[in-house]
Structure 1
Amino acid sequence: MNKHPKKISEETIHSNPWWTYKHDVFEMPDGKQGNYYYGETSGMVMVVPVMSDGRLVLTLQHRYLEDKQSIEFPGGGIPEGMEPIEAAKKELLEETGWIADDYVKLGIIEGSNGLLKDRGHIFLAYTTEQKAQALEEFEDIEVLYRRPDEVDQMVRKNEIWCGQTLATWALVHHYFLHNE
């Protein structure tokens, strides 16, 4: 596998506060050129909050594109210039009202690496204090509390269908398998 394309040019087609849509022209080793269209963000975070009793904190929110409810771990975009850990703390408080003092970085995911440059920083967070949610203007999020075995059951029943949440859950399983 040594037929890697070389970027010839890059153009921004559209930009908004959340992502940029780009068009690249690339060249293969044999000289043939092609086009690649993709989205790019400043990254995202996802947090797996663990309560003192072992339950996990999840969110239930309506997803516009699928027009249905989605059960997910709290998360969101990383504002330009903000460190991932700070974005994780912000999203946890904003979406759930929870504060955590102890964060463990579980890894990085690329949820749709053929379509979108959107590096996802995944954290485990041990909650310490609950305050009120600080939702953004168009957010309507219900907070859920589930044991890990209940989350496993929800995954098996396809009640959790968010790809980022499923990838995050795989990292959580790996972490606890190798660290307990």
Structure 2
Amino acid sequence: MQWRKQSEQTVYANRWFDVNLADVELPDGNHLDHFLIRLRPVAVATVVNAANEVLLLWRHRFITDSWGWELPAGVVEDGEDIAYAAARELEEETGWRPGPLRHLMTVEPSNGLSDARHHIFWADDGVYTGPPVDDFESDRREWVSLELVPKLVARGEVPAANMAAALLLLHHLRLGQVAVPHPS
């Protein structure tokens, strides 16, 4: 079943996002008004060191009034390369410049409401360049063992779904999974 957008108009816009109203035709021919948010791409990055520790931010999100672990992230500026934006955000928020970035995943965190795409990268080395420029972004920055990631996610300490997915994938890629023998 496919919904078809008949028209769309902007009802509010600013530098960060547009709120639009769409006339949507449902498969049965009925129409509904559907609000949606149009966002610029978001670039996300981290470093996993030789000890299999991942560089994370501990921060508060006032919208949900929650604390949790996150990866450094930010909006891609107009004309900016996404991987460059990810490296820039990582350095601005942590003081660490990543080595060569690898694309980990691209996710759509709320595709029933928004066209947001988060592009997540990681590097297996980095260089500390000094205190973060955007020190206000987090309460602290820490190297956290990838072994702890599943427990952190299960306890709700990684509340953002995109961050949880990325960290669980990094956990899998770096530590692998223990094979469960099948009974013969």
TM-score band, normalised by the shorter chain? Answer: 0.7 to 0.9
Report if the CA contact (8 A) 1:98-1:127 is conserved.
Answer: no
Alignment equivalent of 1:5, drawn from 3, 6, 29: 3
Encode CA deviations 1:104-149: one digit per residue, 9 max, x unaligned: 101210011111111111111123210220107x634410111111
Q: Find the aligned partners of 1:108 and 1:71 in 2 and give their Cα distance.
A: 19
Query: Which aligned pairs between 1:1-180 and structure 2 lie closer than 5 A?
Result: 3-131=1-129, 132-135=131-134, 139-176=137-174, 177=176
Match of residue 180 from structure 2: none
Alignment TM-score, normalising by the size of structure 1: 0.87
Report the alpha carbon displacement of residue 174 of structure 1 after superposing the two structures with TM.
Answer: 4.6
Report the alpha carbon displacement of residue 86 of structure 1 after superposing the two structures with TM.
Answer: 1.0
Report if the CA contact (8 A) 1:45-1:75 is conserved.
Answer: yes
Q: Find the aligned partners of 1:133 and 1:127 in 2 and give their Cα distance.
A: 17
Gaps of 5+ in 1: none
Report if the CA contact (8 A) 1:109-1:167 is conserved.
Answer: no
Higher strand share: 1
Q: Find the aligned partners of 2:52 and 2:147 in 1 and give their Cα distance.
A: 11
Report the alpha carbon displacement of residue 49 of structure 1 after superposing the two structures with TM.
Answer: 1.4
Gaps of 5+ in 2: 178-184
Q: Find the aligned partners of 1:154 and 1:174 in 2 and give their Cα distance.
A: 15
Encode CA deviations 1:23-67: one digit per residue, 9 max, x unaligned: 111223543222111111111122131123321100011111022
Q: Find the aligned partners of 2:38 and 2:48 in 1 and give their Cα distance.
A: 30
Residue 153 of structure 2 aligns with an amino acid whose one-letter code is V
SS of the aligned residue for 2:77 comes to coil
* Count of aligned pairs: 175
Q: Find the aligned partners of 2:169 and 2:15 in 1 and give their Cα distance.
A: 29
Change in Cα spacing, 1:54 to 1:125, as seen in structure 2 (3 Å) is same
Using the TM superposition, name which of 69-78 and 165-174 deviates more: 165-174
Q: Find the aligned partners of 2:2 and 2:151 in 1 and give their Cα distance.
A: 41
Using the TM superposition, name which of 28-37 and 120-129 deviates more: 28-37
Change in Cα spacing, 1:9 to 1:128, as seen in structure 2 (3 Å) is same
Report the alpha carbon displacement of residue 173 of structure 1 after superposing the two structures with TM.
Answer: 3.8
